[in-house]
Structure 1
Amino acid sequence: MADPEQPRQPTVSTTSSTPSDSFSSTASIAYDRGFLRTPQGLLLLAEIVLGMLVWALIAGTEYFLFPGFGWVMFVAVCYWVLSVFFLIIYITMAYTRISHVPWATVDLCFNGSAFVLYLIAAIVNACSITKERHHGSHNYNSWAASTFFAFMVTLCYAGHTYFCFMAWRART
């Protein structure tokens, strides 16, 4: 029997959780074949292809001699990588297993920021083109083509932002 003069020790109970607790318990990966047929899926594919053309055309030149092209490369590569990431998230339907993330808001913020920063990068790209003789016509042609594709990917992100805004507004 317990001694009545000793104070009773408080009982502490703890629980722990792992990051995997927020995911579905199934180990299989889903594949959404229909996503690439939606306007958002088509725009995402176009953003990836056009964005890759932007940075590939600039990377094949002496862009490091011009600070403006460094900014364009930063925007193009960052948003290309993030767009590929989002494509994987949406094709595998991982967003359905990560329910704590407000995906409509994340998608809107991502595409809105991509639109704004790509618009700035496309303008910087256009303003940085020089046809000086010592840089050659290869650089000029690549930079001119990258400017065209930068404006095209900007339009894709603008359209994607519109669709994301409509989806976000429908959820709120």
Structure 2
Amino acid sequence: MEKPGLWYTGEMEEERPRSQTVTTTTSSYCETFTTSTSLSYDKSFLTTAPGLLLLAEIVFGLLVWALIAGSEYFLFAAFGWVMFVAVFYWVLTVFLLIIYITRAYTRIPKVPWTLVGLCFNGSAFILYLISAVVDATSVSNEIPQNHNYNTWAASAFFAFVVTTCYAASTYFSFRTWRTRS
């Protein structure tokens, strides 16, 4: 009588454990991928016009949302919109700067990075322009006990500065996209 995992030898009914054979195979499929996982640091990117514009967008964008966040913006829906645009594009710009500095975009060649940059900068320019106009038109000194007037006025100024930076980035992205396509 056979028991699972044991051999039946016939006459003597001697039971012994089965021998386990393991067969391994190797594949050379990974030869198309690079084996290095380290990212390089591109020092020269920060000296180019797009690199300097990214830094300016980060600094001035931070000023926009920090000035509004330090006030009672939640009482006015317009400043909530400006906060959304400022924080959203500030975070994405920081990620984009990290991608460009570490040259991570070279590791993902299937993504059309010039088109991604153009769409990102173009949408940031349009939405920042709208939010800068909303910010500037919402600043009023006529509200009773408005101690946020100077803060909101400064945020409107820096919103227009960031809008100008994104407009310049859109121009450089368009030139790069046009020459590569």
Indicate the TM-score class for this superposition, using the shorter chain for normalisation.
Answer: 0.7 to 0.9
Counterpart CA distance in 1 for 2:58 and 2:152 is 19
Cross-structure match for 1:116: 126
Identity %: 66
| 1:78-133 CA-partner distances (Å, limit 9, x unpaired) | 00000000000000000000111000000000000000000000000011112135
Cross-structure match for 1:151: 160
One-letter amino acid matched to 1:149:
F
One-letter amino acid matched to 2:89:
Y
Is 1:69 equivalent to 2:79 in the alignment? yes
One-letter amino acid matched to 2:159:
A
Q: 1:135-146 counterparts in 2 under 5 A?
A: 135-137=145-147, 139-146=148-155
Cross-structure match for 1:134: 144
Q: Which stretches of structure 1, 4 residues or longer, exceed 4 Å deviation after superposition?
A: 20-23
Instruction: State the TM-score, normalizing by the size of structure 1.
Output: 0.85
Counterpart CA distance in 2 for 1:31 and 1:135 is 50
Distance of aligned partners of 1:128 and 1:22 in 2 relative to their CA distance in 1, 3 Å threshold:
farther
* Higher helix proportion: 1
| 1:30-77 CA-partner distances (Å, limit 9, x unpaired) | 000000000000000000000000000000000000000010000000
Work out the number of aligned pairs and report it. Answer: 152
Contact 1:72 1:121 in 2 (8 A): yes
Q: 1:1-172 counterparts in 2 under 5 A?
A: 24-137=34-147, 139-172=148-181
Counterpart CA distance in 1 for 2:34 and 2:118 is 25
Consecutive unaligned residues in structure 2, runs of 5 or more:
1-29
Cross-structure match for 1:5: none
Q: CA deviation at 1:21?
A: 9.7
One-letter amino acid matched to 2:168:
G
One-letter amino acid matched to 2:170:
T
